[in-house]
């Protein structure tokens, strides 16, 4: 049985020793921040017994805009189109088994420790699933050396290699891109941006303190929020790795080898949806081998999907990524 056993110190034996501290100490954990921005309102309609594919409709503007009429005119007729997005509902989970001997001999609470470890694992798994969808954003912006302008592409990657630290001039340029693309704000008139602490370092002295805009009427502070500049509220994360490719974000070849900046995801509302059939939960294993083996798992049945993917056309994208080709 793979899992926690008494006979191997690193797997369980260390849970008892003379003068063992009763303080439970867990390994340091990264900051996970993407899932909190997923739209879960649609998920309530998915529920159980409705198949493994979740759909949503996107309605276009009318084909011909309305205008003024003279008395003898008939009111013109027009139409609009409906496109449909979808995501697949899948299972997710993980478990840790342990032996009854470990439970009986350990001085520390085995089940409590495993439950904490699994909750941390689930949190990171969900953030990965959410971040993977943000990473599908069609619209990318980059800057070779300019400190107040960006180059925009609409195919999910960039050919511009970033060679400048991210600063307030870039924020202004990206906000202009988002507003001119009519991307709706996430809350009030504000957008959000997620990135690494070091990526935001040159900007931090210019950020509006959270207390300043809370006093102006905002009430919701998101996890990891550090401040606001030019209508963008910034969120620090440390879980999704730096650089492009499978472990990072952005153009696959974008390794940010010059180390002057790294990826940032800017977005408004209606970006990534989460459909939940069975919310995440902790489950206990029915003891086997006459009660000698035990286990705890987390389980989830649901899915994440970008609401306006590249296939729907970049004009509808609600996400803009600060990216680099190398």
Q: Is the pLDDT of residue 278 over 60?
A: yes
H or E segment at 267? Answer: strand 264-267
Q: Which tens digits make up the pLDDT trace of 171-218?
A: 999 999 999 999 999 999 999 999 999 999 999 999 999 888 876 665
Q: Which tens digits make up the pLDDT trace of 206-223?
A: 999 988 887 666 568 899
Tokens at residue 259, please?
A: 């180390």
∠ CA 244-119-28, rounded to 5°: 60
pLDDT value at residue 28:
54
Q: Is the pLDDT of residue 315 over 50?
A: yes
This prediction's pTM = 0.86
139-166 mean pLDDT = 94
Where do the domains of the chain lie? Answer: 136-272+314-322
* CA–centroid distance for 108 within its chain: 34
What are the angstrom distances between the C-alpha of 21 and each of 8, 24, 134? 19, 8, 43
Q: Are 251 and 323 in contact (CB under 8 A)?
A: yes
Q: Is the pLDDT of residue 1 over 80?
A: no
pLDDT value at residue 171:
98
Instruction: Return the percentage of the chain with pLDDT > 90, whole number.
Output: 58
Q: What is the sign, positive or negative, of the torsion defined by CA atoms of 204, 206, 212, 214?
A: negative
d(CA 58, CA 82): 6
Q: Is the pLDDT of residue 26 over 60?
A: no
Query: Could you give phi then psi for residue 131, rounded to 5 degrees?
Result: -60, -35
Q: Is the pLDDT of residue 314 over 70?
A: yes
pLDDT value at residue 7:
60
d(CA 187, CA 182): 15
pLDDT band at 20 (very low <50, low <70, confident <90, very high): very low
Sheet holding 232-236, edge to edge: 151-153, 139-142, 319-322, 264-267, 191-195, 232-236, 225-229
Nearest to 55 by CA among 67, 46, 64: 46
Tokens at residue 157, please?
A: 């990657």
Q: Is the pLDDT of residue 105 over 90?
A: no
d(CA 251, CA 134): 13
Q: Is the pLDDT of residue 9 over 50?
A: yes
Q: Which tens digits make up the pLDDT trace of 210-257?
A: 888 876 665 688 999 999 999 999 999 999 999 887 778 998 877 888
């Amino acid at each position: 049985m793979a899992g926690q056993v008494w006979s191997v110190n690193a797997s369980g034996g260390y849970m008892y020793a003379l003068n063992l501290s009763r303080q439970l100490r867990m390994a340091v954990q990264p900051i996970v921040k993407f899932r909190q921005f997923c739209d879960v309102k649609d998920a309530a309609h998915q529920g159980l017994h409705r198949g493994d594919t979740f759909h949503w409709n996107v309605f276009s503007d009318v084909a011909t805009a309305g205008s003024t009429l003279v008395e003898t005119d008939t009111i013109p007729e027009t139409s609009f189109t409906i496109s449909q997005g979808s995501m697949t509902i899948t299972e997710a989970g993980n478990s840790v088994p342990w032996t009854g001997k470990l439970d009986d001999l350990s001085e520390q609470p085995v089940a409590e420790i495993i439950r904490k470890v699994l909750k941390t694992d689930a949190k990171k798994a969900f953030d990965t699933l959410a971040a993977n969808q943000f990473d599908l954003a069609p619209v990318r912006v980059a800057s070779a050396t300019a400190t107040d302008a960006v180059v925009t592409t609409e195919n999910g990657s960039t050919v511009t290699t970033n060679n400048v630290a991210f600063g307030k001039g870039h924020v202004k340029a990206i906000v202009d891109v988002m507003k001119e693309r009519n991307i709706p704000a996430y809350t009030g008139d504000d957008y959000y941006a997620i990135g690494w602490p070091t990526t935001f370092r040159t900007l931090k002295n210019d950020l509006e303190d959270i207390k300043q805009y809370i006093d102006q009427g905002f009430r919701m502070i998101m996890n990891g929020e550090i401040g606001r500049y030019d209508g963008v509220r910034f969120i620090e994360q440390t879980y999704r790795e730096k650089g492009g490719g499978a472990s990072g974000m952005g153009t696959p070849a974008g390794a940010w080898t010059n180390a002057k900046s790294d990826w940032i995801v800017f977005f408004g509302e209606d970006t990534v949806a989460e459909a939940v059939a069975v919310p995440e939960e902790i489950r206990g294993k029915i003891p086997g081998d006459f009660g000698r083996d035990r286990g705890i798992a987390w389980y989830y049945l649901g899915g994440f999907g970008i609401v306006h993917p590249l296939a729907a056309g970049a004009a509808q994208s609600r996400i803009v990524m600060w990216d680099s080709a190398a």
